[in-house]
Amino acid sequence: MATLNGSAQPRIDTRVRIGSARLKNPLVAASGCYNRGAEFARVVDPAAYGAIVLKSITAQPRLGNAMPRVAPTPAGMLNAIGLQGPGIEYFLTHEAPALASAPTAIIASVAGFSVAEFAAVAARMDGLPNVVAIELDVSCPNVDREGECFAADPDSTAAVVAAVKERVSLPVIAKLTPNVADIKPIALAAQSAGADAVSLINAVRGMAVDVTAARPVLANVSGGLSGPAIRPIAVNAVWEAAKVLRIPIIGMGGIETGRDALEFLMAGATAVAIGTANFRDPLVPLRVLRDIEKEAERRKLSTVAALTGLAHPSFATKTGTR
Amino acid sequence: MPAHQQSLEDATLVSREFIAPGFWHLGLRSPHIAGRAGAAQYVAVDIPGDFAVRLPLGIWTADGDTLSLLFREWGTRTERLARLPVGTTLSLLGPLGNRFTTPTSAKGATIVAGGLGIVPFWLLAKEYQRAGIALEVIVGARSKDLLVGVDTLRELGITIATCTDDGSDGTQGNVIDLLRARPKPDLIYGCGPPAMLRALCSFANERHVPCQISMEETFGCSLGTCWGCVVPVRRGCDQATGYPRAPADSRAYDLARVCIDGTVFQAADVLWQR
Ligand SMILES: Cc1cc2nc3c(=O)[nH]c(=O)nc-3n(C[C@H](O)[C@H](O)[C@H](O)COP(=O)(O)OP(=O)(O)OC[C@H]3O[C@@H](n4cnc5c(N)ncnc54)[C@H](O)[C@@H]3O)c2cc1C
Ligand SMILES: Cc1cc2nc3c(=O)[nH]c(=O)nc-3n(C[C@H](O)[C@H](O)[C@H](O)COP(=O)(O)O)c2cc1C
Ligand code: FES
């Protein structure tokens, strides 16, 4: 891709690989924050993203949690949407056909409440138009029963990944929760079970109290914290996972600028996802990509992929992927 | 479905007026948004500072290339907004949401507003004036100091009846009491706190009076993508289109997003309990 002709600027190769999927750039719209991009298309071309991750789909339709289910917090927001969605049947008949005209590559996201459910829903996502990978939301922090968070336990994580891998041919991404003491064994379990990549991190469990009404702000009491407030937690999770993984990491959590994205890339992420920042600035993917490219150029790198792990001792070569 | 014609615009803060303790009126030069603003539409304001999501505020007045906001200091973002100096550049997204609709045949209408629920009605009043249709306005609040914007609306030459819970302005009582004491309206528009809107919807539904209300919920994205702002609505109603229904699903209601499917809903479509 890098072309040098005359006085023209050298073009940086922005492509990255997530398993067998190739994204035109390392920016991904995070699950639950972008629908299929249509709402944003009025102010920005969603094709700015290398891929859009769809809202997690469950086997059954779900209404989600009671209201209020979002709350702005310092440098972030809490959400307890509770996986509202139409369920896989409706999704396949009414929404999936439109994916044929998706503005960019699509990563389908699956959430479930049993290993069998994950496998069954994921299997039906395999082969949909423009879907290049399947992300498993094994970490949604909103489901009210503690036992339902697979990503808190290495064995449960591995069981979900293995069951899905058996049923699908697309690359499988395990999306992990930061709400654990040590992310490494869980990330390793996902890798050993055949995951092609991991997404780090899902929202961080948190809550807010309305002191006027003297009750929790969210009807669900707790929710997932996203936005800049969680960025240091997320960067550390990527850093820790990068110590033990050989599969690519999609880093996310509070990315608003190119500099933020570079933190994740240099800590070991191959791609980065942007969620909440789209709400504040729909133009965020354009800014972030431009600034990542500038940084690669400044460092005389011909690819964005070469930024991965620049700050991390596990990336011995200091250029490029492992 | 509403036409979603909107802009991301860098607006300039051109005026800043203290209304009453905690209440502010800001003027913003924002030609693209001001020029297209309709009654009950809002802007999502990117407040400078460590805020992750935009602040939704209703468009109060819109005249030429300038729009204005009328708001209260609720919490961190509105407090910050109230302290920005004139000349500040602010990123606005808007106009967002659908609009109140005005009837084509010239029957009068009644506006019922509670507190800051007056915000969508300056633009609606202008529309009615342009159409030459009669309008009566009832505004209520807990007390006189919470009755803001009434004078600005009166300046349009509109007759306004006020009421307060404590009798410090207008009739003592609430807006529904005032409504009950009058002849049955042909059409009602409402905006205000949830309890008031709920009572207004019962009033209108019981009497089969068409009634449009502008609702409010806590917003995340203001764009229709986070599903944080949903309300239960009658299945199959216009605004329910935002939420896909599963074929085998026997629920008697649908969810609609206040931010993009609303904020205006028909009283007959809003289900207050789920
Ligand atoms: C479509 C739409 C239009 C709006 N238009 C206006 C407007 O024109 N003028 C205006 O003043 N506000 C308006 N609001 C309300 C305003 O957006 C919210 O109050 C917002 O939460 C304020 O943000 P904040 O960061 O200042 O306070 P936050 O930090 O979000 O809230 C601070 C505290 O105030 C309480 N609180 C917040 N909002 C309300 C409320 N509406 N009623 C009672 N308690 C509340 C919360 O419980 C919280 O504890 C509108 C909201 C929507 C969705
Ligand atoms: C409103 C909202 C809904 C979300 N829904 C999902 C979801 O359905 N599945 C999922 O895997 N992650 C979901 N997430 C988490 C995000 O994809 C992302 O991991 C997290 O918000 C951190 O990134 P950010 O700080 O850039 O938003 C959601 C986040 C938000 C804010
Ligand atoms: S505020 Fe996000 S969908 Fe309405």
- Express as a percent the part of chain B with pLDDT over 90: 79
Question: Which CA distances in Å does B195 have to B169, B229, B234?
Answer: 21, 17, 19
pLDDT in the model for residue A146:
55
Question: Which CA distances in Å does B93 have to A133, B7, B68, B96, B108?
Answer: 32, 6, 14, 7, 33
Residues whose CB is less than 8 angstroms from the CB of residue A312 and which lie 6 or more positions away in sequence, other chains included: A239, A242, A243, A266, A267, A268
Six token digits for residue A176: 């992990």
Q: What is the residue-averaged pLDDT of chain A? A: 91
Q: Is residue A19 part of a domain?
A: yes
**End-to-end CA distance of chain A, in Å?**
21
CB A273 within 8 A of CB A30: yes
Q: Total structural domains in chain A?
A: 1
| E strand residue ranges, chain B | 7-20, 23-29, 42-46, 55-58, 61-63, 66-72, 89-96, 109-114, 135-141, 160-164, 171-172, 188-191, 211-214, 230-234, 253-257, 264-266
ipTM of model: 0.91
Average pLDDT over residues B192-212: 96
Residue B245's pLDDT band, with cuts at 50, 70 and 90, is low
d(CA B254, CA A61) in angstroms, rounded, equals: 12
pLDDT digits (tens, 9 = 90+) for A269-298: 999 999 999 999 999 999 999 999 999 999
Q: Is residue A255 part of a domain?
A: yes
Burial class (CB in 10 A: 0-12, 13-18, 19+), B208: exposed
Q: Is residue A160 part of a domain?
A: yes
pLDDT digits (tens, 9 = 90+) for A78-97: 999 998 888 999 899 989 99
d(CA B208, CA A21) in angstroms, rounded, equals: 57
Q: Is residue A262 part of a domain?
A: yes
Enzyme catalytic residues of A: 140
Q: Is residue A322 part of a domain?
A: no
Q: Is residue A269 part of a domain?
A: yes
Question: Which CA distances in Å does A114 have to A31, A191, A305, B228, B266?
Answer: 20, 20, 36, 25, 40
Q: Does B131 touch chain A (CB under 8 A)?
A: no
CATH number for the domain spanning A140: value is 3.20.20.70
Q: Is residue A281 part of a domain?
A: yes
Cβ–ligand 1 contact at B18 (below 6 Å): no
CB contacts of A75 in chain B (<8 Å) are 50-52
| Helices A184-192/A154-167 angle, 10° precision | 30
Give residue A40's domain range: 4-317
Closest C-alpha to ligand 2, atom 28:
A32
From the list B8, B52, B246, which residue is nearest A77 (CB)?
B52
pLDDT in the model for residue A4:
38
Average pLDDT over residues B246-274: 81
Ligand showing the shortest atom-to-Cα distance for residue B73: 1
pLDDT digits (tens, 9 = 90+) for B40-49: 999 999 999 9
Average pLDDT over residues A173-189: 96
DSSP H or E stretch at residue A105: strand A105-110
Residue appearing with tokens 């960025």: A231
Q: Does the pLDDT at position A5 exceed 70? A: no
Closest C-alpha to ligand 1, atom 34:
B74
d(CA B79, CA B81) in angstroms, rounded, equals: 5
- B211 vs A317 pLDDT, higher one: B211
From the list A63, A68, A227, which residue is nearest B52 (CB)?
A227
Q: Is residue A296 part of a domain?
A: yes
pLDDT digits (tens, 9 = 90+) for B143-167: 998 999 999 999 998 989 999 999 8
Q: In A128-204, which residue ranges form alpha helices assigned H by DSSP?
A: 154-167, 184-192
Average pLDDT over residues B26-55: 96
Q: Which of B57, B219, B223 to mutate to test the interface with A (most CBs of A within 10 A)?
A: B223
Cβ–ligand 1 contact at B216 (below 6 Å): yes
- Express as a percent the part of chain B with pLDDT over 70: 93
